[in-house]
Structures are given as C-alpha cells and as structure tokens.
Structure 1
Amino acid sequence: MTTTKSMFSPASGLGPFDREQSERQLALEYLAEAWNHAEDDGLESAALAHASLFAALATFVKLHGDEATADLIAMLPDRIRSGEYNLDRVLQ
C-alpha cells in the first residue's frame, strides 16, 4: 500500500499510541488513501464528506442502535466548537 501524507495525520508531539489509537490511525490512513483516489477521479470533497458521514452513521446505528448513535451525535456540536475536528489547530 502506498500512501501520501494523510490529511488525518496526528499532531506532532503526541506520546505513543495505544492499540486502539493505532488501529484508528491505520483506518484513517486507509480512508485518506481512498479519499485521495476519489478526488483524483474528480469527486468533490463535499460529496466524499457527505457519503463518509452517511456510511459512518449507518455503521454506528447497525452496531450500537439508534439511541446510542443519537447520543453520540448530540455531543458533536461542543466537540466541533472546541476545535477537536480542526485539522489546522495547533496543540501546545
């Protein structure tokens, strides 16, 4: 598998990843590679983002149910506003 620099790379200065973090990072690298190929084929980032959100939410509903997924999603506004999903933020 050849990969380019992932847009989802972790911030520098983080300590060693535990197993779960390593698995999530590897999953992000796979997704970034697929994302890059889709963009190379002409798909817009917004379309990819919408499709990714749908696939992620459908998977969470299948694995954990409607209520647990809704509870997870209810926490997202605060996490987004705090910069947790901002790839350009600088951690000190």
Structure 2
Amino acid sequence: MSTFPDDLPLDPTLGEDRSDARRVAYGYVEDAFNEAQQDGLDSDALAHAALFAAFRTLVETYGEEATAVFAEALPGKVRGGAFTSGTRH
C-alpha cells in the first residue's frame, strides 16, 4: 500500500517542484471551470464532478485506505480556512 504524501515534503528540493506543479495544475483546473461556466454549466455540478474525478484518481494512485486517511483531514482544513478565498462564511 502506498502512503499518501502530506503537505510537508521530507526533501525541501522536492517540495518546490511539487508546489510549482500543483500551482500550475490548479491554474488548469481553474481555467476549465471558467470555460465550463462560460458554456453555461453550473459551478456546483462542476465542483462535484471535479471532486469525484480527483478522488477517483487518488484512489487509483494511492489506494482506498490512504485516500480515506487524506479525506479524514479535510473537515479540519475546510473549517480552518485552507480552501477559503475572499470573505469567510
């Protein structure tokens, strides 16, 4: 079973590359969301589809247990503002 990588890499040089890759990847996802919304797709439907695709990929890459452990940390991150931009609700 593979272990899902955490947010802090053990090797600082790998962290920069991974962080840059994640930043670039996020830009692609954000562009796809913007394009789909311009085509009239609902942002809520897009978010659910993106989450499903992301979790499916994580399960394929790291396995069900490692992905579940990763998912267990999400409520704290959401409540802590890790995904918040702009005004908090």
Task: Quote the offset at 1:73 in angstroms.
Answer: 0.4
Structure with more contact order per residue of length (Cα contacts < 8 Å, sep ≥ 6): 2
The residue that corresponds to 1:43 in the other structure is 41
- Structure 1 unaligned regions, length at least 5: 1-16
Other-structure match for 2:70: 72
Structure 1 segments of 4+ aligned residues over 3 angstroms from their partners: none
Give the SS at the match of 1:18. helix
Number of residue pairs matched by the alignment: 74
* Structure number with higher helix proportion: 2
CA offset at residue 18 of structure 1? 1.6
SS of corresponding position for 1:56: helix
- Give the letter aligned to residue 37 of structure 1: E
TM-score by length of structure 1 reads: 0.75
Q: Which runs of 5+ in 2 are unaligned?
A: 1-14
Partner of 2:22: 24
3-state SS in 1 of match to 2:21:
helix
Query: For the residues of structure 2 that align with 1:39 and 1:77, how far apart are their CA atoms?
Result: 27
Identity rate, percent: 41
1:56, distance to aligned residue in structure 2 (A): 0.3
